Structure 1
């Protein structure tokens, strides 16, 4: 299976161009979509999930059990094979996990109560919530609610799963459990992970894209993107008041406070006096691409 997006555009009524000629091919497995807040990630996810209309373009989900689905024109068909965990996932606090999941399964067309029970029990086991299935959702931690969200997204064995900012606010242990669950799901499904957390993409995804101001500005395997900037990232510890001067004379891609002083990373094709080389990582890719794109003066 794969998801193919061509020439996708979306402009909101207030004039904000959320998506600008977006083109992506997303293969089976875990696909990371990185970008800052307001970059267009959620707009893209909502469009794929048929929650909003596009102004133009095409989205095709190919090689599914029922053939190729034109997402923008066959909304009912894509909804039957779609699992979606939005950024804001609300739950009914006084309803048990078991009851809520049974209700959602019913809404998704599973009418046989015995079949629903088997599916609900299997999904709660899969997301490690079977032991609390009788407890009200209002008593769940953030990580437990996210795992419940994945359980409801998996009802009906979807071909495409979209998770939007799934690890925001989770503690390290919950985040690790959630990562393991997503990795397992991605073995047989197209999973799109929309996030602004670079580490999540590094740990989970074999393919990725970076989006900024509605534009796809990088696309590829994380290791290939990192390799493309090796030897071009340099760092230096400076005094904080010097930062503006360095920004005026170098392409500063990131800053970090260390021991009361400021560490800066710059992008340069050649060595810079007073700087030391850095082994590049995906965070350097992300910041260099975002900085470069914003400096072009692209207006959303």
Structure 2
């Protein structure tokens, strides 16, 4: 299978006769392997995925998947045939077995030959570790098992581009780990775009990440580079019981007997007792969302407080 080449140039999508820009001049190249997609609600992630799957035609710009530009209906159909998609909410038929459901989906994907179709269904069921329970009705499956059925239908056509949207939401820790391993296995020489709000899913599986905000690309590159955005700006601040929380971007809060410890982002030490800690990808993401920059820190000895700038 040829490694994909997914390129977006000047991609723009508008709604309401141009009054709303869901995507605004996006330039993006998705490398082979796992790529994480982060961004707040309404940032444009879903619109981007719909364009990549060929469901939505952009207002302006070009999209190329494996050398094929999505410039016509025929070419969009060609790309859709080589793309797998697992939406956040996949409609399953509860009274069908997993094997029956996949047989139906395979027919929709154009796998007409019965012998080849059944062989492929057995293959993907074994790949997602559901071969032994393929005879059971989907209504008897757990949430994690249903997600695995979802990924099975997405890879029936052996896609060069696989897009998954919030696949681990609501899963228990063991099933989440299983799903992460499955996605990493599937990456190989294809591109897997993982859209999620769970930063740890990206940290554990994706060497590269894209951050989208207000319809534009705020960051694209290695996950380590995103963590580096917060280097020397992450602090632990402990406040006594009853004291107000720091008025700073806060990554997490840990209550304790002596007080509450806040993990905060600030270009300068937010207090005399603040302890600087190593930056993580989540810290880098929050830094990016708040447009916090060490260059905005006050001069040494200044009484001016740290501030956020947009």
TM-score, length-scaled by structure 2: 0.86
Q: Is 2:281 aligned against 1:282?
A: yes
User: What SS does the aligned partner of 2:290 have?
Assistant: helix
**Residue segments in structure 1 that go unaligned for 5+ positions in a row:** 63-67
Mapped to 1, the partners of 2:71 and 2:237 lie a distance apart of 49
Contact 1:21 1:215 in 2 (8 A): yes
Corresponding residue for residue 214 of structure 2: 213
- Cα distance, 1:241 vs structure 2: 5.3
Corresponding residue for residue 89 of structure 1: 90
- Cα distance, 1:274 vs structure 2: 2.9
- Cα distance, 1:296 vs structure 2: 5.8
Change (3 A) 1:72 1:258: farther
Corresponding residue for residue 251 of structure 2: 254
Corresponding residue for residue 262 of structure 2: 263
Q: Is 2:56 aligned against 1:52?
A: yes
Corresponding residue for residue 115 of structure 1: 116
Alignment of 1:1-300 (within 5 A): 1-13=4-16, 15-62=19-66, 68-73=67-72, 74-238=75-239, 242-243=244-245, 246-247=246-247, 251-259=248-256, 261=260, 263-268=262-267, 273-292=272-291
Tell which structure's C-alpha radius of gyration is larger. Answer: 2
Contact 1:161 1:189 in 2 (8 A): yes
- Cα distance, 1:57 vs structure 2: 1.3
Aligned residues: 286
- Cα distance, 1:253 vs structure 2: 4.5
Contact 2:211 2:217 in 1 (8 A): yes
**Residue segments in structure 2 that go unaligned for 5+ positions in a row:** 293-307
Contact 2:12 2:60 in 1 (8 A): yes
Relative contact order, higher structure (CA 8 A, sep 6+) = 1
1:47-97: CA deviations, max 9, x gaps?
Answer: 1112222211111113xxxxx111353211101101010111110000111
| Segment drifting more, 110-119 vs 12-21 | 12-21
Contact 1:163 1:192 in 2 (8 A): yes
Contact 1:37 1:196 in 2 (8 A): no
- Cα distance, 1:228 vs structure 2: 4.0
Mapped to 2, the partners of 1:9 and 1:234 lie a distance apart of 38
| Segment drifting more, 99-108 vs 118-127 | 99-108
Contact 1:235 1:266 in 2 (8 A): no
Contact 2:250 2:262 in 1 (8 A): no
